[in-house]
Structure 1
């Protein structure tokens, strides 16, 4: 092995912002579009912190045609006086020194989203050019940087000739303004040396974040302007006076079963942190008092999906942290105690709810505000301040317990509704677990646990098997003769099943038709649904081709959409398309007549015109099928069940949120929106279109 010299001269010290440019991923997560957006949020969050402190009511973010972005606020403006220790102006200090800013001593900001004091300086280091204008003290001040170095540009472009400034000369007075006018404008161009070549600011991500921040800071308006396409510029403004309660209602897509409630409180705690000693200029560990403000909004809905978002000083923590853990701990503790106290009334037995039972259908926003929060990493995805967990848990237990034990009529109704939903989810989970343990594909001797009306198939090949859900016993009789018993199973239902969009989980489980469908499929329901345990590869809804048949099909789809959604997402739910008409074409001589099926009035008219032009005769009257029971087994087989000639319509959900809103409109408990929908569409209906 060759010898190499290794001494102190081989060691490298990265000074100032050099470390940021050398390892940008340590500060912004990555050098792709996610890191680019993180830089922009660093600047925006600094402006939001000013609004949180009570300075400024509007922030405007503009994406320019030259690739730059401009963030302007109405805050106090970055300080422009000289900082004694560094002898730099406040503006130069904030934008060129790591861990410098007004968020460490606690005198300027009670709580802030701006990070570990590295935000503005990191963005500056990763910018090809940054221009900062400050309105303060009756003047507009200006300073420019190239890759973190203060200086002067020959013109207004990012690639203009640059001259570094001498110490203390970078910040310039530009013009006089009214003394009452304050604010900061930051314009910068991302450095192509630091980011991937094809990255650009994502307008959708930006507006989503702006909307989120506007919910969290009710007194703030955020405007987003995209001028990158001069022919089609776009702009949006976000302002929500309702705060996080309005945020919860915006996020929740299912029907509410409880009102949105708020939990707000504050608490003190002590924390040992390094504090700068002004006399010595050194950091010393001291125990300091902190204040933690809690603001939580939550409500339960009729669905089983959980939406819980957590924030610290308006910064999203997508991976949670101590505040979210405290919320979930407190919530579970309260509901376990309440279920135990009312176990007899709720018929809950000795079982205890688990976290998933409590969170089913819950939409919640959990926010805390505290000085100098400890995050796990610069990207702030997880809050690490340990004391916050106990504080949040304690306050949630205290206020939720008071609501559950209140004698007010509204609170009693709230408590009853929530407990019934939680116990219903618990029973559903236990039932699904039992089904998974005991119900696998059964042979003929083991088939007794399935519904008596199920006509099962012989094949054990799940991918090749099909379950036809048919309407009524009459259709079942014909379908038995028409099916291929090797891989086609039949399950009859009695008319119209329960509308599960309106019904509770307990009502759905108690309904015989719904329970039979869930039992036959063998994969559970709700959040415990296990797609891999489903006993059939295709589920085919076979109902009559009339209004009642369409209604039954819609009710069945509502059941699948709400409680067996993965089947729909996987494209395993189908609707059979039986024909509407049977046309018998008569051939001359001894040639056998031919039967042609049509599936719509338009298709029938086209066929008849074609036959007339060809001079062919057909038998009259033309048969119009009102139901599957009017077909014989041969007709049902060749039109609806035989794979070689049938027509199936796959049920898909390309836009889940749009589909969910449609289901709620058409099948939900709110009558007024449905009435308005019917009235608005009534002009499009003609008497001739009504199947009567």
Structure 2
């Protein structure tokens, strides 16, 4: 087999000025649309709509017009109406064209270049309206101003007159701004309706009602008092008008975005500053000269911490979303880290060698970061990233100063919330260290294959996660009896020696160094802290089995603290229990037919009732046996009373959501934490309620 190579045909060596393509006016936009709107799919189609809406919002920001209506028509067109000042209809002196034609046909033309018409806007390149016009099969604009309605239409960026409805009507080029009917002299506003050019946009590109509703809601949050109505008429019979109006501003926005149980109220950080920026300015000779310009910066931040792990930070510049952040978000995060770091320096929450980083502070945070400034520097027309360098430094200073004042506040309510934020950050730092040092355990099969499970684990044979049970057993003596009493098909045993570490007081590193704690987390097999995966747990039930005395109660409390702190989803799912071994056994000397020879009681009150009952009936029994520990029972007794699902009693340990969860956190901190005074007060109060006769001395 032979292969023939064909030499590529050589290009012509001619390259003269006549070969250059000069794109006039809006031709460049139609030739390279993605350069201006990002893409020609749904994203680009939506971006065109944002450009027109943002122009109306900029008017509202400037204090003109508090109502905007966006209509999606059944023919695919979009209409945006506002009640602002209305576009200029007089003649622009340098071009000799009407203001309307300049706005819609000239790139980089508008009132947002520092001429005093706008202070802080989302649009600043002056290409938004003209780009939308260039990419529209038809665009109609109506302006109410000077006591009349002024009308002009365009076809793919060319001004003219249509002789009918829709983009397919006959078209005659004409750049006259037509004067229509008279209106009240004080009435002003602009109505723009455009049909996206399907020669430009992909066939499957379509307007998203969901994205429009989200953007309208977001803008209404950002511009307090602005009403935005969305009128969707695309489906006949299903027309729907959705109106958005929020007077709470970004505080209400942060509360809307936040999830989980609040750790703090919505906090508001704000301030203003000035900076000097060097920008090229057109001088009298027509040359661009570097000029120092004073800029005003306004910073407004709303934030709230919740008990979740996720972070949600949304940022805006002059109400334009910056989903990829920029210098304002960089400054916010720096200020946040500095403020929390300084606040922690005044406490004893951090132990030697521990540090809190940005990710720890951001855990569970919802924040809305907004800045307003004239002529911000964006990276590209899509305005996804703010690039103005001085903004980072100023936002850092304002956020650090405002947040530190809140964290150091002595007001009772504020002080409690500030403490909760700092404790949450420290807890996240310890969990992060734990995740790095202690990778998530794999499920049963992988764990068994790698032989990484503790040798003292007496595992079960079944892999059924819903059926299997893990007994955490106090002491080696009880472990021996439990091995004979268990059903090895689905019951696993893990012995622990005495009292495990109190993890409420210890660091994550200390917890992982503790052999008992590390073994329990490893055997459960679902990780710990943020990395805990409930679906990966190797057992359907975890059962604490300790002696029915004060030491056993202490061990159960320590185990509960471990699970609450590092494996809480197991508690929330109701998969953690304590076994209830009996306290006494009655052996009947001459039981009647059908009567059990052995009777067990589980509380002191039940023992007294059973004793009285047997005595009253004249039933003979030997001296009741008092169990002081699990090791005093033989295998048959332990199985019958404590381990066999048919006869045993289990107490489920649960954690409810909402207020109960917060109470549980507070209770663990009080009873198991570092603060001694609250615990002492609790014990003293409880001492007066204790009946001295109940003390088994």
Determine if the TM-score, normalized by the shorter chain, exceeds 0.5.
yes
C-alpha contact 1:130 1:145 (8 A) present in aligned 2: yes
Cα offset, 1:98, TM superposition: 0.7
**How has the CA–CA distance of structure 1 residues 517 and 162 changed in structure 2, closer, same or farther, with 3 Å as cutoff?**
farther
Alignment match, 1:118: 127
Give SS of 1:208's match: helix
Among residues 325, 332, 335, which one is paired with 2:330 in the alignment? Answer: 325
Residues in 1 aligned to 2:226 and 2:346: alpha-carbon distance in whole angstroms: 44
Cα offset, 1:543, TM superposition: 9.0
Alignment match, 1:283: 288
Alignment match, 1:231: 237
C-alpha contact 2:332 2:396 (8 A) present in aligned 1: yes
Residues in 1 aligned to 2:505 and 2:135: alpha-carbon distance in whole angstroms: 54
C-alpha contact 1:518 1:525 (8 A) present in aligned 2: yes
1:380-438 residue CA offsets vs partner (Å, 9 max, x unmatched): 11100000000000101111122222332233223211111111111111122221299
Residues in 2 aligned to 1:478 and 1:163: alpha-carbon distance in whole angstroms: 98
Alignment match, 1:470: 469
Structure 2 counterparts to residues 133-212 of structure 1, below 5 A: 133-166=142-175, 169=176, 171-212=177-218
Alignment match, 1:79: 88
Alignment match, 1:371: 374
Residues in 1 aligned to 2:105 and 2:288: alpha-carbon distance in whole angstroms: 21
Residues in 2 aligned to 1:490 and 1:98: alpha-carbon distance in whole angstroms: 76
Cα offset, 1:466, TM superposition: 5.4
Alignment match, 2:415: 412
Cα offset, 1:293, TM superposition: 0.5
Alignment match, 2:248: 242
Matched, 1:341 2:350: no
Cα offset, 1:542, TM superposition: 4.7
C-alpha contact 1:470 1:492 (8 A) present in aligned 2: no
Among residues 212, 224, 233, which one is paired with 1:218 in the alignment? Answer: 224
Residues in 2 aligned to 1:2 and 1:382: alpha-carbon distance in whole angstroms: 41
Cα offset, 1:235, TM superposition: 1.7
Cα offset, 1:180, TM superposition: 1.2
C-alpha contact 2:461 2:489 (8 A) present in aligned 1: no
Structure 2 counterparts to residues 30-49 of structure 1, below 5 A: 30-49=39-58
Could you state the TM-score of these two structures normalised by the residue count of structure 1?
0.71
Alignment match, 1:428: 431
Residues in 2 aligned to 1:438 and 1:670: alpha-carbon distance in whole angstroms: 30
**How has the CA–CA distance of structure 1 residues 478 and 12 changed in structure 2, closer, same or farther, with 3 Å as cutoff?**
farther
**How has the CA–CA distance of structure 1 residues 183 and 505 changed in structure 2, closer, same or farther, with 3 Å as cutoff?**
farther
Alignment match, 1:298: 303
C-alpha contact 1:435 1:523 (8 A) present in aligned 2: no
Residues in 1 aligned to 2:224 and 2:196: alpha-carbon distance in whole angstroms: 31
User: Structure 2, unaligned stretches of length 5 or more?
Assistant: 1-9, 474-481, 497-503, 544-559, 577-641, 649-654, 665-697
Residues in 1 aligned to 2:240 and 2:492: alpha-carbon distance in whole angstroms: 54
Q: Greater CA radius of gyration, 1 or 2?
A: 2
**How has the CA–CA distance of structure 1 residues 442 and 388 changed in structure 2, closer, same or farther, with 3 Å as cutoff?**
farther
Give SS of 1:86's match: coil
Cα offset, 1:259, TM superposition: 1.3
Give SS of 1:346's match: coil
Matched, 1:394 2:393: no
Matched, 1:128 2:137: yes
**How has the CA–CA distance of structure 1 residues 515 and 118 changed in structure 2, closer, same or farther, with 3 Å as cutoff?**
farther
C-alpha contact 1:538 1:574 (8 A) present in aligned 2: no
Residues in 2 aligned to 1:4 and 1:560: alpha-carbon distance in whole angstroms: 75
Q: Which moved more, 1:405-414 or 1:430-439?
A: 430-439
Alignment match, 2:596: none
Matched, 1:62 2:71: yes
C-alpha contact 2:79 2:194 (8 A) present in aligned 1: yes
Residues in 2 aligned to 1:663 and 1:172: alpha-carbon distance in whole angstroms: 68
Could you state the TM-score of these two structures normalised by the residue count of structure 2?
0.70
**How has the CA–CA distance of structure 1 residues 483 and 562 changed in structure 2, closer, same or farther, with 3 Å as cutoff?**
closer
User: Structure 1, unaligned stretches of length 5 or more?
Assistant: 494-502, 545-554, 577-626, 634-661, 672-692
Residues in 2 aligned to 1:667 and 1:316: alpha-carbon distance in whole angstroms: 38
Cα offset, 1:667, TM superposition: 6.6
C-alpha contact 1:94 1:121 (8 A) present in aligned 2: yes
1:473-511 residue CA offsets vs partner (Å, 9 max, x unmatched): 79x979963537xxx967899xxxxxxxxx99999x999
Give SS of 2:76's match: coil
What RMSD, in angstroms, separates the aligned Cα atoms of the two structures? 4.1
Give SS of 2:540's match: strand
Residues in 2 aligned to 1:248 and 1:562: alpha-carbon distance in whole angstroms: 29
- Paired residues in the alignment total 547
Structure 2 counterparts to residues 342-357 of structure 1, below 5 A: 342=347, 345-357=348-360
